[in-house]
Structure 1
Amino acid sequence: MALDLPLTDTATMLRDALQRYLADNSRPGWQGLAQDLGLMGVGIPEESGGTGGGAIERAVVAEALGPAQAGADWLSHHLAASALAQLAPGHALLPSLADGSARIALALDPALVAGGAKADWLLVLDGRGARLVAADEAERRVRAMFDGTETADLTIPATAGENLSGDVDGATAWARNAQLTARCAECAGLMARMLHDTAQYLNSREQFGQPIARFQVLRHRMADMHMALLKAGALIERAVLAEGTPGWDHAVSAAVVETTDAVRIVGEGAVQLHGGMGVTEELDLGGMFKRGLVIASTFGPRTAHLARHAATLG
């Protein structure tokens, strides 16, 4: 694991269960994540059928699902269900969300909604309020992303759905920061696996009678990649642990900027060090790099995060 977080008992069990399961199921589907692992209940209170958990548990799952390229739909479901539990505790939909028999997606913006392609429900947080909308009330245009994941562009009637009360502004701000932080954690998992696979490749390939991992120029390249991951990982850990504190905005923007740089440094280095094999379907490496680039593209303008980082410096 790339992130060094103070794990709760729940997070430790999640991490261990995920490691065992993913060792035998490298590309798990929705049913596996829901039925075999019970991941859809993370973030939903126990009294509503979930397993509870917060920022640390979210980061553990996102990091583990990164290399399996299974984190996009899970995260959207998790954030939407958690936000619904905040806005409407005890809502009748929560138990079916917790066991995965119903799927929900978080719609902070109607364009490119992760998980929206197959969701049964949508939690719309659009700055004008909070609405729980049945997905068949929305017009959906499914889009295939560069990394093979599916998103949806949504057209949602203004009168559709159930209006939710509660602290809508607080839930929306939480969802945005939690989404950014978890996507950074997913990138940490991707980068750690790309580094691991590249190190194994360099140690297995020989030239001039020795593993090419011994060549100084390649060792320096690997060191640069490792340093990029360490820097990003430290700021991601800080963002995870800052959830709910006055410094959360500052920590999240710092993590986003550093992760954006690190994904490109690690991904480009891993692909180049593998040579032509780095972009073949024979290896998972190319797909992981593409996933990292797609995540980075969802972070929004770098200038906006730098400006928020500067504005929250105090």
Structure 2
Amino acid sequence: MNFQLTEERQMLQDGLRRFLAGSVTHESIIAATESPAGFDTTLWDGLVEMGLPGAMFSEDQGGFGGAGFDIMVVFEELGRAGAPTPLIETSLLAGSVFGTPHQKLIDEIIGGRVFAFAHGEPTSRYDLSHVQTRAEKTAEGWHLSGAKAVVHHASAADALVVSARTGGGMTDRAGISLFLVPVDQVRLRDYPLNGGGRAAEVSFDCILPETAKIGEAGQALSMIETADARACAAQCAEALGMMETIKTLTIDYLRQRRQFGQPIGKFQALQHRMADVVIEIEQARSAVINLCGNLDGPGRDLHVSAAKNLIGRVARLVVEESIQMHGGIGMTQEYALGHFAKRLTMVDHRFGDTDFHLERFIRLAVA
């Protein structure tokens, strides 16, 4: 297998790495997290100008990418920088459910419009078919009622893509529909996330027109599963980029910190621990490559769970080892490692944790 990037993807990676290196600092990340939007809007405008949202869509959709390796290239570089952006929510979650009839919305996403994806609920625990929010047909339109949990970048979005039951029981695969809801039609309780960015608890009690429905009523679960798989691949690639930055910070520290008259990186015990970290990161890279190469294949969900489980386990090792080798400075807000460690730790809690994906992998493997 050829692991080299195509010329176009190599150019995208090089250009994005240079742009982020010159635009993102530890101070700007802290300022962005404390801002009302939860991300650096100036940085986002620059990424949009580079055409980054377009890399998440195929040429038929008006973009210039859309494949698994396009996702990997983009999100590994975003992970290296450590800056939160709404790219997953807007281009991969919301963007993946917009089909040909919604080309105007895809064009708006490529142009920089921000959407939030409201699917997870307080009791769903990563089960994509667990939806209690309901949409009932009335004479005035669709009456939407219910609540969603941890909706990333909801307060900064122009509109929300919301899943709701239009039929069936609480966990039935059929009966789930999607609706485009203006943000001024919902109630938000906004809060900062550990590791950067913002999210909100969202509740609904509003009337929507027929045109707010996305796709065929009751048949949205397959679109949600596709969006979730693509977003999970992006999250794994972003985690890989964060691991690479943490590795670099730790190696630099081991070379600079001196004890007993020599750099602590010369101590064999620390060399062995660092070697274990490097090996595990390379294993994680192989898992992300495998996932992105099979993102459109028949065994997609099996590869998603295999990669997400491994990424969660390696992320925990990388965070624990890097902080232990740094000592107390690794926990301080003023040092970049603290932010990356928190952000990488939170990767395991989105799109399914290690235990969830281990059980899912076993279930799919024996099916």
What is the TM-score normalised by the length of structure 2? 0.77
Q: The residue matched to 1:129 in structure 2 has which SS?
A: strand
SS at match of 2:208: coil
User: Which runs of 5 or more residues in structure 1 are unaligned?
Assistant: none
Cα pair distance change 1:303/1:158, threshold 3 Å: farther
Counterpart position of 2:46 = 32
Identify the match of residue 19 of structure 2 among 15, 18, 21.
21
Distance 1:271 1:147, change over 3 A: same
1:1-314 alignment, distance < 5 Å: 5-27=3-25, 29-35=43-49, 37-46=50-59, 49-85=62-98, 87-100=99-112, 102-109=113-120, 110-126=148-164, 128-157=176-205, 159-160=207-208, 162-165=212-215, 168-313=220-365
Superimposed CA distance per residue, residues 148-174 of structure 1 (whole angstroms, 9 cap, x where no aligned partner): 320121113464361111563321111
Question: Is the contact made by 1:247 and 1:312 (CA closer than 8 Å) also made in structure 2?
Answer: no
Q: Do the aligned residues in 2 keep the contact of 1:130 with 1:168 (CA within 8 Å)?
A: yes
The 1:61–1:55 alpha-carbon spacing in structure 2 relative to 1, beyond 3 Å, is same
1:51 is paired with a residue of what secondary structure?
coil
Q: Which stretch of structure 1 is more off in the superposition, 117-126 or 235-244?
A: 117-126
Query: SS at the partner of 1:303?
Result: helix
Shift in alpha-carbon separation, 1:156–1:60, aligned structure 2, 3 A: farther
Deviation of 1:180 after TM superposition, in Å, equals: 1.5
Q: TM-score, normalised by structure 1?
A: 0.90
Structure 2 Cα separation of the partners of residues 273 and 129 of structure 1: 49
1:178-212 Cα deviation digits (max 9, x unpaired):
12121111110101110011101111122233221
SS at 1:42 equivalent: helix
- Distance in 2, matches of 1:78 and 1:71, equals 14
Higher strand fraction (1 or 2): 2
> Residues of 2 paired with 1:46 and 1:19: CA distance?
23
Distance (whole Å) between structure 1 residues aligned to residue 159 and residue 224 of structure 2: 17
Rg (Cα) greater in structure: 2
CA RMSD after TM alignment: 2.2
Unpaired runs of 5+ residues, structure 2, are 26-39, 121-147, 166-175
**Matched residue type, 1:16:** D
Distance in 2 (CA, whole Å) between partners of 1:171 and 1:10 is 28
Identity %: 32
CA deviations on 1:95-124 (whole Å, 9 max, x unpaired) are 222111x21122222211122220102122
